[in-house]
Structure 1
Amino acid sequence: MHIKSAEFITSAVKPAQYPPPDLPEVAFIGRSNVGKSSMINCLVQRKSLVKTSQTPGKTQLVNFFLVNGCMRFVDLPGYGYAKVPKSVQQQWGPMIETYIDQRPNLCGLFLLLDIRRDVREEEGHILQWLMKKKLPVRLVLTKADKFSRSAAQNRLKILLEQTGLEKNDLLPFSSVTRQGRDELWSLVSSMTGIYETPV
């Protein structure tokens, strides 16, 4: 996909603040500091479209980005960071669930997992919940550059066992080397039905 434009649209905490549901959307969900911001920036070839931070728990809102004027990327709040106030943590679950449950133009979801980490109970519950929604879901293994190819394959086997998924359901990705970028764009295209950049 040739990226002509990518821009931040708005942040929201409730459906009344969402953009109109007039364009296909794909959403990204994952634990705090898993690399969502870096991955979205890599996909759209922008260094700082999504603000990255060394501080986990930075994404606390539902953030909408317009890509090529024809689709939206939705960055959902990161979860699982204990140092964020509990009052904020308690808002994330309903905020994520409300978006996924009520967004009619949501075409697919990407659940991000650091390839170095085992699947925790939270990821297991989220994955099962997303599968029940009958929406396309793919597990993206971020920070794949931290391993050699052989070590990454060993991790892949472990994660396949932990998730019960098929190999094609897991995609190793690196925002540093751009490994998996083309494959991820292919998935976005198949989810949204948009294969060419509009003129």
Structure 2
Amino acid sequence: MSTFAVNLNKAKFVISAPDIRQLPEDAGIEVAFAGRSNAGKSSALNTLTLQKSLARTSKTPGRTQLINVFEVEEGMRLVDLPGYGFAKVPLEMKKKWQKALGEYLEKRESLKGLVVLMDIRHPLKDLDHNLIEWAVDSNLPVLALLTKSDKLSQGKASAEVLKVKKALQVLGGDIKVVAFSSLKKTGANQATQIICDWLTAETDQADSIALDEEDA
């Protein structure tokens, strides 16, 4: 658990970029949010940062067409990636979004953790599974955030979490599964702690090395 105090509510908008070439310098630590266009990604970002309109929400899924970057602290960023899968937009536009998403995931060195958001009622569609599998192969920790858990009873939500955990176990890797609701704030504290731990992992490691050197 991180000993470094990071407040996600300090997050502020930095830039919207159509591709990685227009993003901030590839340094520091980034935690990216990815998911199908109807998974409630913007609502989750607003809930986790305790801000009502940090990420733009819309009744029309698929409005996140750009890579949106938010800075929490210097060198610590949250990145909202273009939604995939559901959006009712022209095929050429979908291809453009997918290219930006793929380039970011494959080439961004500062990416240190991936939050994959899925509607708890329809988790692990092919694109979701492929994305998580890619992250595991790339040694990236994953938080599978099962959104809209308020749509299910507590018992059914818990059962879905167990089912998703079992399905992802075969991939190995560092995968955590959390039921989440932007409406009721279910899972918000747990998700926040995981993300903060990722953001401060290198800071904690540097502090540990410094202490070891002092003791030597």
The TM-score, its normalising length taken from structure 1, stands at: 0.89
How many matched pairs?
Answer: 196
Q: How far 1:71 moved relative to its partner?
A: 1.7
Q: How far 1:156 moved relative to its partner?
A: 2.1
Secondary structure of the structure 1 residue equivalent to 2:33: strand
1:120 aligns with 125
Q: How far 1:136 moved relative to its partner?
A: 1.1
CA shift digits 1:62-82 (9 cap, x unpaired): 110112445211000000125
1:87 aligns with 92
CA distance in 2, matches of 1:152, 1:9: 35
1:71 aligns with 76
One of 156, 178, 181 as aligned partner of 2:185: 178
Secondary structure of the structure 1 residue equivalent to 2:12: strand
In the alignment, structure 1 segments of 5+ residues that lack a partner are none
1:132 aligns with 2:137: yes
Cα 1:106–1:82 change in 2 (3 A) is closer
1:160 aligns with 2:165: yes
Q: Which has the greater radius of gyration?
A: 2
Give the alignment's Cα RMSD to 1 decimal.
2.2
1:49 aligns with 54
CA distance in 2, matches of 1:4, 1:110: 17
Q: Which has the higher helix share?
A: 2
Q: How far 1:12 moved relative to its partner?
A: 1.1
2:39 aligns with 34
State, as a whole percentage, how many aligned pairs show the same letter: 37
1:192 aligns with 2:189: no
CA shift digits 1:46-89 (9 cap, x unpaired): 10111100101111111101124452110000001252110011
Cα 1:7–1:96 change in 2 (3 A) is same
Matched residue type, 1:179: T
Cα 1:161–1:40 change in 2 (3 A) is same
Cα 1:178–1:68 change in 2 (3 A) is farther
CA distance in 2, matches of 1:190, 1:118: 25
Matched residue type, 1:12: A
Q: How far 1:3 moved relative to its partner?
A: 4.8
The answer as to whether partners of 1:38 and 1:52 remain within 8 angstroms in 2 is: yes
The TM-score, its normalising length taken from structure 2, stands at: 0.82
Matching of residues 98-117 of structure 1 within 5 Å = 98-117=103-122
Secondary structure of the structure 2 residue equivalent to 1:189: helix
1:20 aligns with 25
In the alignment, structure 2 segments of 5+ residues that lack a partner are 1-5, 205-216
The answer as to whether partners of 1:60 and 1:77 remain within 8 angstroms in 2 is: yes
